[in-house]
Amino acid sequence: QVQLQESGPALVKPSGTLSLTCAVSGGSISSNSWWTWVRQPPGKGLEWIGEIYQSGNTNYNPSLKSRVTISLDKSKNQFSLKMTSVTAADTAVYYCATDYSGGGSYGFWGQGTLVTVSS
Amino acid sequence: EIVLTQSPGTLSLSPGERATLSCRASQSVSSNYLAWYQQKPGQAPKLFIYGASRRATGIPERFSGSGSGTDFTLTISRLEPEDFAVYHCQQYGSSPRTFGQGTKVEIK
């Protein structure tokens, strides 16, 4: 059973960079899967941030593309999110998710981590 | 980008009643790659339906998905107490993947 665990700073200053990591256990990040980041501002709906395939191919939400980078670290079996120039509007619970072994829908999710942007 | 519109925003029903949730897409969803997720407070979303009509592993038969093209429906035949939650639809047929704004099913 694939398990995902997000980690990273809970507080980021405005104009700073948000950096999160998703550790994968029970499966290999080199499998034919999409590794995804989704966020949810407090009291709001889900927003898809972007994804990376095991080959390194990436897709991003156009509204965030200029500020977001998703990368893989196969040696550590994890993937990461970097978001630059953050504002209070980026305050949200950030989830990592995957369609492990294909299909496209997200059968596996991390528990989520709240990131607050504030000085 | 495909915009998904869910309706209603909130559904107030009693246990034992039937729930019908709608998800409408601004353009056709490729290969009916439409999923439904259930989310409870403080928890991550959980996959319930994929491919518009296929139940994920362990999901009770009272949950069913239907539809194609731009109109999709999640039906809960008889609501159990544990079914009261928020349901999100998502299309994964094209990039960017997108979610609807969610429908809250609350106890009347």
Q: Flag whether residue A48 sits within 8 Å of chain B, measured between CB atoms.
A: yes
From the list A45, A110, A112, the residue facing B99 with the nearest CB is A45
Q: Which string of DSSP letters, residue by residue, matches A56-116?
A: S-EEE-TTTTTTEEEEEETTTTEEEEEE-S--GGG-EEEEEEE-TTSSSS--EE---EEEE
Transcribe B19-77 into DSSP letters.
EEEEEEESSPPGGG-EEEEEE-TTS--EEEEETTTEEPTT--TTEEEEEETTEEEEEES
Taking an 8 Å cut-off on Cβ atoms, the answer to whether B45 and A46 are in contact is yes
* Contact flag B45-A111 (C-beta cutoff 8 Å): no
Q: Rounded distance, CA B25 to CA B7, Å?
A: 12
Q: What is the C-alpha separation between A2 and A9, in angstroms, rounded? A: 24
Question: In this complex, is the C-beta atom of B44 within 8 Å of any C-beta atom belonging to chain A?
Answer: yes
Min CA distance, A45 vs chain B (Å)? 5
**How far is B27 from B24, CA to CA, in rounded Å?**
9
Question: A interface mutation test: which of B95, B98, B103, B104 has the most A CBs within 10 A?
Answer: B95
Q: What is the pLDDT of residue B31?
A: 96
Instruction: Please check the confidence at residue A101 and state whether its pLDDT lies above 90.
Output: no
Contact A106 B37 (CB under 8 A): yes
Q: Please tell me the predicted confidence (pLDDT) of residue A93.
A: 98
Q: Please indicate if any CB of chain A lies within 8 Å of the CB of B99.
A: yes
pLDDT (tens digit, 9 = 90+) per residue, B54-72? 999 999 999 999 999 999 9
Q: What is the arrangement of strands in the sheet containing A78-83, beginning at the earlier edge strand? A: A3-7, A18-25, A78-83, A68-73
Confidence band (pLDDT; 50, 70, 90) for A102? Answer: confident
Q: What is the pLDDT of residue B8?
A: 97
Render pLDDT for B86-105 as a digit per residue (tens, 0 to 9): 999 999 999 999 999 999 99
The C-alpha atoms of residue A100 and residue A33 are separated, in whole angstroms, by 5
- What is the reported pLDDT for A69? 98
Cβ–Cβ gap B50/A104 under 8 Å: yes
Chain centroid to CA B55: how far?
11
